Amino acid sequence: MNKKISMVSLGCAKNLVDSEILVGGLKKENFCLVDDPKDSDVIIINTCGFLDMAREESIDTILDCAELKKKSNVEKLLVMGCFSERYGTDLVDEMPEVDKFFGTNDHNVILSYLTGKTYKKDDPDYFRSILTPNHYAYLKIAEGCDNVCSFCSIPMMRGLQVSDTLEKNLIEAQRLVDNGVKELLIIGQDTTSYGWDLNPKSYLHELLDVLNNVKGLEWMRLHYAHPAHLHKEVVKRFKTLDKLIPYIDMPTQHGSDKILKDMKRGLNSSGIKKRIDSLRQANDKMSIRTTVIVGFPGETDKEFDELYNFVKDVEFDRLGVFKYSEEEGTSGAKDFKDNISSAVKQERYDAIMMLQQGINLKKNKARLGSIEKILIDVANEDWSLGRSFRDAPEVDNYVKINQKLKVGSMYNVKISKAYEYDVQGDIVNG
C-alpha cells in the first residue's frame, strides 16, 4: 500500500494552485491523500512568507506538525512554498524536525524525493487536482513579478515574471471546465502585465479573448490587476466579452500621492481614479475590489486623511485593509523607518473598515428588489450560500437563500434583505 500523505496549504490562491499541482502529481503516483495530518505517513506544508502574520502561521503550523511527528506514526515532514524559499537555509538548523525544505516551484523535486523517480519540470503540472469546490478554480496565468513595490518581498520569493503561453492557459482552462468548473478566477502576481516577458509578447486582453471561447465556461473573474498597467484594451473587454463578469480585484494600496510615490506604485491618486472611472464607464455594473495599506512609514495624519477621503470618494464595492509590515530586504525596509505605532495602525485600520462598512450597506440597500444570477457554494437542509458576480470566493460576501439548493448551480435570486456585508434573497422561478 502506498504511503498516506496530508497536504497543508497556507497563504494565497497562487499558493493553492501550487498545492493543487503537487497533489495531482501525488495522486498520479497513487499516493493516498488524507485530510487529517495525524492519519498520514508524510505531511507536506506549503507555506506563506509574506507579512508577519503569514510567517507566524507558517512557523506555528510547522511546529505543530513537528510535535505531531514526535507523537504519531508520521514518518516525514516536508516544507515547501514562499517561507521555505526565503528562509530555508536558516530553517535547516532551527527546525531539525523537518526532513526536507523545498522552494515554491519544486513540485517535480518533491515527487522525486518521495518516489525515487526522475521528473521533468512540467510533468506534475498536467495532473493538477483542484482543492476548491468543483465548480470554481483558479487559473494562474503567470508566476513571479517584475514590479518593485517598496513594501513587497514577493519577487524575492517567487522570482521575476514567467508567463504561461496563451495556448497553455487555454488548454488548462478547457481542462478545468471539462471537469465541471463553471467559474475561472484569473490570478497572477500582476495579471495586467501578463505576457510582457514572452517572445513574441502576449497581452492580457488577448488572453481574455481566447478564454472567452472556452466551451462550457460561465464566468471568468479577473484578480490582482495593477492600476498602472491596466490597459484600455482590457477595460474594453468588460463591455464586449460575455463571460468576463464586471468584477476586478485591483489593489490600489493607498490614496496619498506621497505614499504612493514612496511605495513605487507608478501612479498617483488621480491616475488611479481615472482607471476606476474608465472601468465604470465601460460597464455600469462594475464591481471593484481593492486593498489598501495603513501605517506605511511616513504616513502622517495628513496622508491618512487623504487615503480616507480617497476611499470615501471612490466608494469601492469591496475593500480589504492591511497594516504595514516591514519586509526584510525590500527597498521600503532599507529606505524608511517603520515609525508608525501598532496602536495607530490599528486605529487607522478600524477607521477605514468602518467607513467601508457604511459604503457596503449603502450599496447593498441599492440592490433590494433586483434579480441577480447567483452561483451556489454551500448548502444544507435549511439554507444555501451563493455569490453574485460582485463576490469572489474566500474574500468577499455571500447571498443567503433560505432553502436547500444544488451546489455549483446558478439560480435567479431576488434580493430581499440588505446588511453591512451580506444580502438575503429568494428564488425567482423562470
Question: What's the CATH number where 259 sits?
Answer: 3.80.30.20
Of the residues 318, 334, 366, which one is the last residue of a structural domain?
366
- pLDDT of res. 1: 54
Domain that holds residue 377: 371-427
Residues 414 and 313 both lie in one domain: no
Q: Using alpha carbons, list the distances in angstroms from residue 64 to 6, 23, 95, 326, 378.
A: 14, 22, 12, 26, 30
- pLDDT of res. 404: 96
15 pLDDT exceeds 80? yes
38-46 mean pLDDT: 93
Residues 167 and 111 both lie in one domain: no
Residues 302 and 375 both lie in one domain: no
Residues 200 and 110 both lie in one domain: no
Give the domain CATH number at 419: 2.40.50.140
Residues 81 and 200 both lie in one domain: no
Record the cell numbers describing residue 29, joined without a space. 503516483
β-pairing verdict for 410-418 and 371-379: antiparallel
Residues 205 and 245 both lie in one domain: yes
- pLDDT of res. 430: 53
Residues 206 and 270 both lie in one domain: yes
268-290 mean pLDDT: 98
Record the cell numbers describing residue 400, joined without a space. 443567503
Q: Are the C-beta atoms of residues 191 and 223 closer than 8 Å to each other?
A: yes
User: Could you read off the pLDDT of 143-177 as tens digits, one per residue?
Assistant: 999 999 999 998 888 899 999 999 999 999 999 99
Q: Are the C-beta atoms of residues 143 and 159 closer than 8 Å to each other?
A: yes
| Domains of the chain: total | 3
Residues 254 and 108 both lie in one domain: no
Backbone angles phi, psi at 187, to 5 degrees: -130, 160
Can you give the pTM of this predicted structure?
Answer: 0.93
Record the cell numbers describing residue 262, joined without a space. 514612496
Of the residues 124, 154, 186, which one is the last residue of a structural domain?
124
Give, in degrees to the nearest 5, the angle at Cα 199 between 195 and 200: 85
Residues 150 and 294 both lie in one domain: yes
88-115 mean pLDDT: 89
Mean pLDDT, the chain, as a whole number? 94
- pLDDT of res. 100: 94
User: Could you read off the pLDDT of 353-398 as tens digits, one per residue?
Assistant: 999 999 999 999 999 999 999 999 999 999 999 999 999 999 999 9
230 pLDDT exceeds 60? yes
Q: Are the C-beta atoms of residues 247 and 287 closer than 8 Å to each other?
A: yes
307 pLDDT exceeds 70? yes
CA 186 to CA 173: how far, in whole Å? Answer: 10
Residues 50 and 199 both lie in one domain: no
Residues 272 and 187 both lie in one domain: yes
Of the residues 124, 145, 171, which one is the last residue of a structural domain?
124
Residues 153 and 110 both lie in one domain: no
Record the cell numbers describing residue 192, joined without a space. 495586467
Residue 403 DSSP label: S
